[in-house]
Amino acid sequence: MIVDPKTENKEIAKQYKELLRISYQTLSEEDKKMIRLAFDMAVEAHSEQRRKSGEAYIFHPISVAKIVAQQIGLDATSICAALLHDVVEDTQFSLKDIERLLGANVAKIVQGLTKISHLKKDKNISLQAENFRKMLLTLNDDVRVIIIKIADRLHNMQTMDSMPEYKQVKIASETLYIYAPLAHRIGLYNVKTELEDLSLKYTEPQRYESIKEKIEETKEAQETYIKSFSKFLSKELKKERFDFEIKGRSKSIYSIHRKMVTQNVPFEKIYDKFALRIIYKAIKNKEKFLAWKIYSIVTDHFTPNPTRLRDWISAPKSTGYEALHITVMGPANKWVEIQIRSDRMNEIAEKGYAAHYKYKQGDQKDIGIEAWLNRLQEVLENNTGNAIDFVEDFKLNLYAKEIFVFTPKGDLKSLPQGATALDFAFFIHSEIGKKTRGVRVNDRLVPLSKVLKSGDQIEVITSENIKPSSNWLDFVVTARARSIIKSSINEEKKTHAEEGKEILRRKLKPLKITLNDKTIQQMLDYFKFENSQDLYYRIGIGTVDNKKLKEFANEYNNTLLNFFKRRSRKSNPIPNTDANQITEKYDQLVFGKEKEPLAHSFASCCRPIPGDAVFGFITVNEGIKVHHKECPNALALQSNFAYRIIPAKWVDSSAQEFNAVLNLSGIDKKGLVNEVTRMISNNKSVNINKINFDSEDSYFTGIIHVSVPNKNVLNKLVQNLSKVNGIDKIVRK
């Protein structure tokens, strides 16, 4: 790639001017001087570097700074940190140089970003759960660290075309797994949408292109429809002298893809592919009144769907999002989603944290981002469990829909949908949660596992004599509650284990057994415990009593030879007839819940053979590797890479069948059931196991249980059934 330095320098200068021009925040002269210093340092630091595409490296930090300045809307400090986010990592400049030139705040953010970069390179993997947890701990320093990291990831996703395919898939999967949910939770909806679309582009390119083409094909008709609908609404709103604008937007490629998957329908059957947004100007204390007035005007002319009303003005989401969402039957009998927002609400929806912070005043009640960050920090500091579990819990709570409940004093609190009475107790305070004796919901005593719903009023009853037990983990769904319960149980377990070790030493002495590593290992084998702490804990709480210790001593002292013989047989089992039959009969591997045969190879570390208990591990560039469940690497793989493990089992390829359940619905007609059963019976590859149809007022629902040899046969069956006149929808259960 031949580069003209003059042209390149002109482009760099142009990008700098644009950065200042597009900033969401109003920049003072002091801010502009600060940004200029950061820009000059970045240009000098990266002067010799180029990206894989051949472009000068400086364009990357400038682009990240532009995303931070415009799309996310952060301040001058953040813009400077974005310009310098790779300087300490890749060049001769140090944090002290940055602090000397731009101050402690910028240096602190750059330090947090540098820490994340180092974490990411610990091992040659996509993103370890442990590293993700450590990355989130940087929130303790400054939330802007994570926000700039999201902007950095967005620009990397926008410029991935020159990378090899396996790297594209790796980075895109990581983005979908972690960064898109984080952007969603911080309220950066536009950034989240773009991250999701770009991730789909690289993880499922054919699906992405197919949906994109279909959106383009229907774009003209959609724009005409939006224009006509908007024109009518504008006329009605102008009569009431509203100051407003109406925007029409298509739903994102990823959200359409997700609906197609969850509803099991083709693109043509997704009805709400676009939404209208009414953005009105209003002073703060008139916003709610005007939103409902607009609602009234819209529903005077178009019938609303009462089940699709979402009032996030009276009770904002915990991300700070406020709006009124309604779905109405628009012209030509099409369902249309309409979002009603004030200009302030719209800014918060588009800019997230930055606008939320800008509009916060005095002691304004806030259930938004700051409260969430405080709760998150407590979860991070309390969490002592498995990192993979932590990430899964965290993601569950990121995407969960919300309910709104009340304290006895009438304060409004938001919790994830599915939260229980015990979750609420921990949400109020960790110490209240740990001492929960009972809970009253709407003035009635309920079990701790009672699932809450919006509008419930909850009172927690505490006792100093109560402490968390392991069965409490079955009563909670939030990461915060699980984390505190696990931490509390671990502390108690540790105390019992310390006492148990001394008790064991004392009890073994009269049995003439010395407590050492060899004895402990033999006791673990005998009692089938996983580790020494577990053994000491059971001794401490009395589960392993004197009688059991004497039985072990007899085995240890009198039949030592048999003990070792038994261990030897365990490690070298003699093949029996059944095992040989399994090896001969079960000759094909299938993977995942769908039990599909997939391309794979066998791991050289354990060399499994047909009939062995196995699992699949999805490698970065070698496809699926099959490991024995007792492989020496099994534990490490399953604890560190749970999201890359795929269940696997051996099956008899000559007689393999899969069960599936199909739910049908539509308009009833004479002979419909006969037509459906005849169509299935004519297909020799499909067996009907069970069939049930119900009809009410000309509408029918049906459930069919079938056995098929593979997914392709099932898909073909669904395709044929959908052509039957009267069948409106087929969903695989």
Residues recognised as catalytic: 89-90
Torsion of CA 540, 546, 550, 553, to 10 degrees: 20
Contact 322, 345 (CB under 8 A): yes
- Bridge partners (DSSP) listed for residue 279: 245, 341
The rounded distance, in Å, linking the Cα atoms of 206 and 204 is: 6
Q: Which helix (H) or strand (E) segment is 731 a member of?
A: strand 727-732
Q: Which residues contact 114 (CB under 8 A, 6 or more apart)?
A: 88, 89, 95
3-class secondary-structure state, position 290: helix
Residues 234-260 as b or e (16 or more Cβ within 10 Å = b):
eeebeeeebebebebebbbbbbbbebb
Strands 645-651 and 588-591: antiparallel
Whether the CB-CB separation of 467 and 434 falls below 8 Å is answered with: yes
- The span from the CA of 699 to the CA of 697, in Å, is 6
Q: Which residue reads 């050289």 in tokens?
A: 604
For 694, other C-beta atoms within 10 Å of its C-beta total 11
Contact yes or no for 663/678 (Cβ under 8 A) = no
CA 406 to CA 454: how far, in whole Å?
9
Sign of the torsion formed by the C-alpha atoms of 14, 17, 19 and 21: negative
- 688, 620 contact by CB (below 8 A): no
Q: What angle do CA 143, 432, 320 make, to 5 degrees?
A: 35
Q: Residue 309, SS3?
A: coil
By C-alpha distance, which of 195, 131, 136, 113 is closest to 479?
136
Are 463 and 437 in contact by the 8 Å Cβ rule? The answer is yes
Q: SS3 sequence, 535-566?
A: HHHHHHHCCCCHHHHHHHHHHHHHCHHHHHHH
Measured distance CA(25)–CA(400) in Å, rounded: 31
Contact partners, residue 158, CB within 8 Å, separation at least 6: 63, 198
Q: Smallest Cα–Cα separation from 267: which of 276, 277, 259, 278?
A: 259
The residue type of 74 is: L
Q: What is the 3-state secondary structure (H, E, C) of 604-662?
A: CCCCCCCCCCEEEEECCCCCEEEEECCCCCHHHHHHHCHHHEEEEEEECCCCCCEEEEE
Token representation of residue 650: 């051996």
Three-state secondary-structure class, residue 688 = strand
Q: Which amino acid is at 384?
A: T
